[in-house]
């Protein structure tokens, strides 16, 4: 009996857990401090999205696409705004339509590209409600198609909402 071995009480979680925990503590502190309306979307991002997308939007290579200098490009092509609402991480979150609209708007402003964020028409709760159901099932093919449109060049003017 040399001690040591059998008494480790701390469960070993996945490697990302400490970071996630730190993020949640940060979000909790913001909430306790009484997050202002402007901070609210960031708090929701921290609580509902950041676990996969990370604080800086960089995601996880091969598993979660980076949002950095990318998420805003979707709004420049037809179907892109709808895609951002319908992708399962968005559509199936527990956020209300208004909260999700604010988080998506915040994400584009936070992660860019800056020139698209600058002229972005904010998402509205009506727009989210219109597209949210049903969530996208065939994510990969729709995403590939949109990336192809983005690659092909400017379509709709940046940030312009689509007609219903
Ligand atoms: C469980 C992990 C996970 C969580 C939590 C998550 N997402 Fe995602 N998200 C993904 C993955 C994986 C993709 C890539 C598309 C797919 O396979 O669904 C993605 C894609 C996206 C995209 C499109 C980006 C692109 O390049 O295609 C948006 C927008 C998005 N998520 C928003 C959100 C929002 C908003 C939240 C929080 C309310 C959120 N996600 C929470 C995993 C997650």
Ligand 1: residue whose CA is nearest its atom 31: 89
pTM for the whole thing? 0.81
CATH number at residue 91: 1.10.760.10
pLDDT in tens, 91-133: 999 999 999 999 999 999 999 999 999 999 999 999 999 999 9
**Position 53 in a domain:** yes
Q: What ranges in the chain are assigned the alpha helix state H?
A: 17-32, 40-48, 50-53, 80-86, 88-91, 97-111, 114-118, 125-132, 139-152
pLDDT (average), residues 5-16: 52
**Position 17 in a domain:** no
Residues with CB under 6 A from ligand 1: 48-49, 51-53, 64-65, 67, 70-71, 84, 87-90, 93, 95, 103, 139, 143
**Position 82 in a domain:** yes
pLDDT in tens, 120-131: 999 999 999 999
- State the residue range of the domain holding 107: 38-152
Instruction: Tell me the residue length of the chain.
Output: 164
**Position 104 in a domain:** yes
Q: How confident is the model at residue 6 (pLDDT cuts 50, 70, 90)?
A: very low
**Position 81 in a domain:** yes
Q: Which atom of ligand 1 is nearest to the CA of 143?
A: 27
**Position 31 in a domain:** no
Q: How many domains does the chain have?
A: 1
**Position 5 in a domain:** no
């Amino acid at each position: 009996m040399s001690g040591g071995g059998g008494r480790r009480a701390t469960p070993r979680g996945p490697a990302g857990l400490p970071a996630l925990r730190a993020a949640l503590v940060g979000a909790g502190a913001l909430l306790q401090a009484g997050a202002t309306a402007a901070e609210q979307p960031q708090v929701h991002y921290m609580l509902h999205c950041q676990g996969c997308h990370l604080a800086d939007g960089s995601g996880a290579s091969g598993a979660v696409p980076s949002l950095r200098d990318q998420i805003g490009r979707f709004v420049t092509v037809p179907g892109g705004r709808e895609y951002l609402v319908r992708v399962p991480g968005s559509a199936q979150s527990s956020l209300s339509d208004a909260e999700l609209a604010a988080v998506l708007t915040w994400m584009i402003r936070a992660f860019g590209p800056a020139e698209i964020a600058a002229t972005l028409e904010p998402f509205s709760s009506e727009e989210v409600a219109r597209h949210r159901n049903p969530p996208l099932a065939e994510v990969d093919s729709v995403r590939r198609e949109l990336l192809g449109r983005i690659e092909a060049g400017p379509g709709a003017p940046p940030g312009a909402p689509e007609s219903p």
